[in-house]
Amino acid sequence: MAVVLLTGFEPFGGQAVNPSWQAVQLLASHWDGPAELVTLELPVDFRTAGPALADAIASAQPDVVIAVGQAGGRPDVTVERVAINVDDARIPDNGGYAPVDEPVVDGGPAAYFSTLPVKACVAAMTEAGVPASVSQTAGTFVCNHVFYRVVHELTARPGARGGFVHVPFTPEQAAGTRHPSMSLEAVAAGLDAVVRTTLSTTDDLRVTGGTTH
C-alpha cells in the first residue's frame, strides 16, 4: 500500500488556529482511500521546519508528500507549481527569525517544480465543487521553504512525488474582515481530491478554457 505524508502548520501571525493543520486532521479522521495516510504538524520556523520534514520522510518512507499551508486572502484552494530557493521573510517566523534573501538549500537549484499532477488536482477539486486554481508562487516565507525542501528531499527517493497546497482562511478567521474564507469541510474535501488524484494520475492534464484534455 502506498504511503502519503500530509503536513500542515501550527498557527502563526497572531492567529489562534491554522486551517492547514485543521483540514489535514479532518481529512485523516475519515480517510478511507487507497493509501496509508501519515500526518505531521510542522512549526512555522525556518530553522526547524526542514529538519522536522526530513525526519518524517526518513521515518515514513512516503510515496507522496503533500505539504499544506495557510494563504490568508486567497479565495480558493491553490496548488502550487514552483518553489524557489529563497527565504525572504516579511514578518518573523514563530521563532523570531526573519531571513532576508537567504537560500533554502545552499547550492541547491534556483527552483523546483512540483511533481504532483497540478492541473489534474485542480480539475478534480473543481469537479468536487471545491473552488481551486493553480498558483505560480508560493511566496518566500516558511510555506515556500517547506515546499522547496519537500521536492529536494524526494530527489533521493526515485519515483516519490511531492508538492504544496495553499488553503484560505476559515470563516471564523475571516469574521469581521473582508478576507475570503472557506469551510474546513470544503478544504478537507479539496485535499481528499488532491491526494486521490495524485495516487491515480501519473501524467498531468492540460486545462485550457475550462476544458481538460
CATH number of the domain residue 95 falls in: 3.40.630.20
Q: How far apart are CA 178 and CA 168, in angstroms?
A: 13
Find the domain containing 165 and state its range: 2-212
- Inform me whether the pLDDT recorded for 27 exceeds 60: yes
Write down the catalytic residue from 121, 143, 145, 153.
143
pTM, to two decimals: 0.94
How do residues 176-213 score in pLDDT, each as one tens digit?
999 999 999 999 999 999 999 999 998 886 544 333 33
Annotation says 121 is catalytic: no
Annotation says 80 is catalytic: yes
The total of structural domains in the chain comes to 1
**In the predicted model, what is the mean pLDDT of residues 101-123?**
98
Cα–Cα distance list, 55 to 21, 32, 174 (Å): 18, 26, 34
How do residues 65-95 score in pLDDT, each as one tens digit?
999 999 999 999 999 999 999 999 999 999 9
Write down the catalytic residue from 121, 145, 153, 166.
166
Strands 77-80 and 132-135: parallel
Annotation says 172 is catalytic: no
